[in-house]
Amino acid sequence: MEEKLILFKNRKRFGIEKNIDIIFKNTTLVLSGLVAIVLLGIILVVFFQSFESFSRYGLNFLVTSEWNPVKDEYGAFTAIYGTLVTSFLSLLITIPLGVGTAIFITEDFVPKFVREIVGSFVELLAAIPSVVLGLWAIFVLEPFFRDFFVFLHKFFGWIPLLSSEPTSRNSLLAIIILVVMLLPIVTSIAKDTLNQVPKKLRNAAYGIGASRWKTIFSVILPAALSGIMAGVLLALGRAMGETMAVTMIIGNSNAFSWSLLSPGYTISSMLANQFGEADGSQVSSLFYAAFVLMILSLVVNIFAQWLVKKFSLKY
């Protein structure tokens, strides 16, 4: 009369199911190992391809600026100098701008929705492809800054960095467009770190009578310093490797000049420019340059990660 409802049935797991489980686990293991393989592969491939050039020019490659495919003489000093100078100077401008913006977003000067709009505008800027920023730099930024550069040269020409007549493509424009690209990185990481600083630190500072900016400078920024530093380093790595916008606006000239107002070169723009048409020992030299760039950005990135781990906020 009363039918027993069968909810559960005891059954053993079939052997095939166990095998599927094991196969699934090992597949994911292999897939995650693939990342490590790709990374090591990149390093090894670029290293071995640059070997020919490395054995011929050695470390002289880093300090000479001859780049002559006809005479088979290569040196990447101009490009290395350009890479370092553009990335450091752009960072120098970006840090105060980015941290200032992050403070604006995390403090309560204006209503929350305004700050959220500012925050998402800055983050959306990061989504604009760099080639589009390059196009914009060529047709909008360059005409806009032309007179300003002439002015800079006229009045500050005695500074070696501004000592040449401004050309339509130059390193200073590359620095400006790099600032636009680095701003979202520095701002969003600084914002996240500032948000993590516990409220009680701020309240304690207010409680003993510190003004708002005294609190920011003496309490909040020091507490957030490591996070901001890590963001700055990540931005530095990004600046050194940034290719398209810089290639389009920097002028791509291997003639060495201290001046930012003359055309320059970076390692990545050299790669973008020459790789397609290169052959013979030039290819190997380009790989050597790529290897230098990779080492530079690896060191910066690993240092940034170490910094995050070592000094992450312990509140």
Partner 1 sequence: MNSLYYQKKLSRNVADKFFTSLSFFCALIAVLPLIFVVTYILIKGGAQINPDLFTLEPNPPGDDLDAGGINPALIGTLVITTIASIIAIPVGVGGGIYLAEYSKGGPFSKFVRFGVNVLAGVPSIITGVFIYALIVSTKILFGSMYSGLAGGMALSILMLPTVIKTTDEGLKLVPNELRYASLGIGASMYTTILKITLPAAFRSIATGVLLGIARAAGETAPLIFTALFSYYYITGFGDLFYEMGSLAVLIYNFALEPYDAQNKLAWAASFILVISILTVNIFSRILAAFTEKTKRI
Binding to partner 1 (CB under 8 A) within 239-268 occurs at 240-244, 247-248, 268
Nearer to partner 1, 11 or 71 (CB): 11
Identify the helix (H) or strand (E) that includes residue 73.
strand 73-74
Q: Which is nearer to partner 1, 120 or 195 (CB)?
A: 120
Q: Binding of partner 1 at residue 293 (CB under 8 A)?
A: yes
Residue choice 51, 60, 88, 109 for contact with partner 1 (CB under 8 A): 109
Is 46 an interacting residue with respect to partner 1 (CB under 8 A)? yes
CA distance readout (Å), 121 to 54, 125, 127, 179, 227: 45, 6, 10, 15, 22
In the window 111-130, what residues touch partner 1 (CB under 8 A)? 118, 120-122, 124-125, 127-130
Q: Across-strand partners of 68?
A: 73
**Binding residues among 82-101 for partner 1 as defined by CB under 8 A:** 96-101
Among positions 179-238, residues that touch partner 1 (CB under 8 A) are 180, 183, 187, 211-214, 216, 234, 237-238
Note whether 101 and 182 are within 8 A (CB).
Answer: no
Alpha-carbon distances, residue 221 vs 207, 218, 276, 298 (angstroms): 18, 7, 46, 27
Span near partner 1 by CB under 8 A; candidates 55-63, 66-74, 193-201, 294-302: 294-302
- Angstrom distance (rounded) from CA 215 to CA 201: 9
Which residues have CB under 8 Å from 300's CB, separation 6+? 233, 234, 236, 237, 240
Q: Which is nearer to partner 1, 203 or 211 (CB)?
A: 211
Q: Does 81 bind partner 1 (CB under 8 A)?
A: no
Q: Which two tokens stand for residue 119?
A: 């925050």
The one segment of 40-48, 56-64, 195-203, 218-226 that binds partner 1 by CB under 8 A: 40-48
Give the span between the Cα atoms of 171 and 246, in whole angstroms: 8
Output the smallest distance, CB 306 to partner 1, in A: 10
Answer yes or no whether residue 294 interacts with partner 1 by CB under 8 A: yes
